[in-house]
Amino acid sequence: MLDIRVSDEPIHLSSINWESLSREDCGAGNSFFGMVRNRNHGRDVSAVAYDAFVPLAEKTLQEICNEAFSQFGSKGSIFIRHRTGKLQVGELSVVIVVHTPHRDEAFKVCRYVIEELKVRVPIWKKEFYTDGETEWLKGHALCSHADVES
């Protein structure tokens, strides 16, 4: 089961229905939380704005999750929330919760999803600095992925 959403809705851990994410055939759960940090590349950060091509982002995340289950021979559930919009330091930008039958694949699937998310999902990040400047962060080009798969 996949439950994936990219939206401007704030993420609060207290609002996640953790019990609903577990499955009777899954004995392991693993989670990853990403949040806005106050410093990056030597600059003081006050906020981050996320931009996303939402339909393609959610579809790509589904593909990544299915790849993860396939690659690590597992089944289970994955819950993903990723923010768009402007976030202050400390706010949650991404949450990934994985349930699998055993702990080894729970760790591997969770790690695979966040690492692939960072290089394949159409989401962009703009940092706001305490000195008033802003900058869109450099990232990973998607055009090479498309042509490699041809």
Partner 1 sequence: MSEGNLRIRVFGMLRNYSDRDGYIDLGGVNRSHLEVRTLKDVVKEYFKLNHPDFDSELINECAIANQSEVLQSHAPIGIQDEIAILPPVCGG
81 binds partner 1 (CB under 8 A): no
The structure tokens 């993903």 sit at 80
CB of 52 to partner 1, least distance (A): 7
CB 67 within 8 A of CB 116: yes
85 binds partner 1 (CB under 8 A): no
CB 5 within 8 A of CB 58: yes
Residues facing residue 98 across a β-bridge: 30, 78
CB of 108 to partner 1, least distance (A): 18
Among 28, 50, 99, 109, binds partner 1 (CB under 8 A): 50
Length of the chain: 150
d(CA 32, CA 106): 11
Q: Which of 59, 63, 13 has the alpha carbon at shortest distance from 35?
A: 13
Contacts 24+ apart (CB under 8 A), 134-143: none
The structure tokens 């949450």 sit at 95
133 binds partner 1 (CB under 8 A): no
129 binds partner 1 (CB under 8 A): no
Among 55, 73, 102, 104, binds partner 1 (CB under 8 A): 55
Among 22, 67, 120, 129, binds partner 1 (CB under 8 A): 120
CB of 70 to partner 1, least distance (A): 19
Q: Where does this chain bind partner 1 (CB under 8 A)?
A: 34, 50-53, 55-57, 59, 82, 93-94, 114, 117-126, 136-143, 145-147, 149-150
